[in-house]
A and B are shown apart, each in its own frame.
Chain A
């Protein structure tokens, strides 16, 4: 097989590269070095700048494939899939990594069918198998209760989506240099069927839980919607986001985009506060891989304490105001 090189699929939104693009570069750099191959970052959009392409190089890419075209402004899966499939046929990369975001988890399965190759979802670890050079892809399944390692032995490229926040973003190294390749859009690849009619932003809480490094989440123990105010205050100290259990969402205390868990979102922040959340397995499924978990609950037997790195058993209505007070003191120091 003449497939060579490791690709990462960069993502930009509102004119900015998303952090997860840099996380993919730190994954990709490690794999490319082990294979002694090139690391290429592919990025599609309508206004990706030269500086942004440079940044991808400073953060680890050897080459950037940059495709700017007004027709690619919006992520429309049929278009993106056609374009990437065409590039795969031309360049024949050995590995393609995308983020397990709403974009990555949509375009990758669509194009894996077209390119007749395997795809592993939502990986939290990637490595190269010593003897074969195959990509070893490790991912949680069954709500995080098992970790499966998967490979694609006979098909190329080997493709994976990678869970956001599951690794650190690659840092800038000003001394790095590389090549920026400007690609032209082949208009015949545009599908043209689907139209984007509009977009409305989440208004309730500006920071979305999947991009946040810190999440303060509240559950039924908060007793009413207004009490989310203290959770917002707590999140505010860390520029973090607010999350919730399903029971809080089902009571309309907060809207669905903030629900963490099996029927909501999966998050992997550096720090997760679970306040008045019992730790049902469906909730744990969405946050168990958080780096640090802090639990506040009045019931010592609550399962949330089993996954907690630090827990306080007691009345949240006394503990959270005290925590907010002490954090305010820390900030003013």
Chain B
């Protein structure tokens, strides 16, 4: 089983707090981490490798500093890392990103399975995983919640849809995007960390990888961001404190009045 896992380095936002005055999120001085939703893909890959053997290559497109995330994935149990990095990739949208990643994956050679997180917590699009499958003409299962079996050159999975779970059989090579339910990510081990320090991460770009230049970066991206707004998240609603003998009954009836005023009851 040769597995490729595209991952993304994103800003760590779990400790971000709201700015009381502007009502927006404070985002200064945040660290970079592996997209938390990619950890489920990494864990799934390691479990498959443990059962069926093979190697796992993690790949990311990003600044040179993104090799930190690749090393962390290797410390968890992945084997190799590839960093796609260069000016030519700057400004890529999901179309151009999935193109560059798919060309790099092609260059890695034979693989059976690509595993990706459902979406990245910064861009929130969920389009790169399916996009890579489309570029490489792979079979695709999104929102995958369980790998049931791998046999006869195919993978049987469950995918979570609105009202339940579909069971699909996909011939390999296949691409799965996965959700949290599929696995519980392990932490890097000490031995893994030591190993990751020794692993050389090659850096790929137009100078050593054949790609269509006009499909890359901002130039290759069909979409353009034309405006960014920072919406207020605070609403300044009514808050009634009933902790000190204020009447709960009255507070609840005010809530019901509120719901009535919005025609919700």
Min CB–CB distance A246 → chain B (angstroms): 8
Interface membership of A193, Cβ < 8 A: yes
B-contact 0/1 string along A146-159, CB 8 Å cutoff = 11111111110000
Interface membership of A113, Cβ < 8 A: yes
Measured as residues with beta carbon below 8 angstroms from the partner, the interface class of chain B is: 35 or more
Give bound CA distance, A322 to B126, whole Å. 41
Task: Write out the residue numbers on chain B whose beta carbons fall within 8 Å of the beta carbon of A310.
Answer: 237-239, 255, 258
A112-B131 in contact (CB<8A): yes
A202-B163 in contact (CB<8A): yes
Near A by CB (< 8 A), chain B positions 122-153 give 122-131, 133-135, 139-143, 145
Number of interface residues of A (CB under 8 A): 95
Give bound CA distance, A144 to B122, whole Å. 9
Task: Write out the residue numbers on chain A whose beta carbons fall within 8 Å of the beta carbon of B223.
Answer: 118-120, 150-152
Interface membership of B2, Cβ < 8 A: no
A-contact 0/1 string along B167-195, CB 8 Å cutoff = 11111000000011100000000000000
Interface membership of B248, Cβ < 8 A: yes
Interface membership of B84, Cβ < 8 A: no
Task: Write out the residue numbers on chain B whose beta carbons fall within 8 Å of the beta carbon of A311.
Answer: 237-240
Assuming the contacts A211-B162, A294-B255, A326-B252, asked whether A306 and B233 have C-beta atoms less than 8 A apart, the reply is: yes
Min CB–CB distance A263 → chain B (angstroms): 5
Give bound CA distance, A119 to B130, whole Å. 12
Assuming the contacts A199-B167, A319-B248, asked whether A102 and B161 have C-beta atoms less than 8 A apart, the reply is: yes
Interface membership of A67, Cβ < 8 A: no
Task: Write out the residue numbers on chain B whose beta carbons fall within 8 Å of the beta carbon of A270.
Answer: 264
B27-A145 in contact (CB<8A): yes
Stretch at the interface among B11-19, B41-49, B67-75, B199-207: B11-19
Interface residues of B (CB under 8 A from A): 11, 13-14, 16, 18, 23-25, 27, 36-37, 93-95, 98-99, 121-131, 133-135, 139-143, 145, 156, 159-171, 179-181, 221-231, 233-235, 237-243, 248-249, 251-253, 255-256, 258-259, 262, 264-265
- Seed contacts A309-B235, A330-B265; 12 additional CB < 8 Å A-B pairs: A117-B222, A119-B222, A140-B124, A140-B231, A142-B122, A146-B230, A194-B168, A194-B169, A194-B170, A202-B163, A308-B235, A323-B256
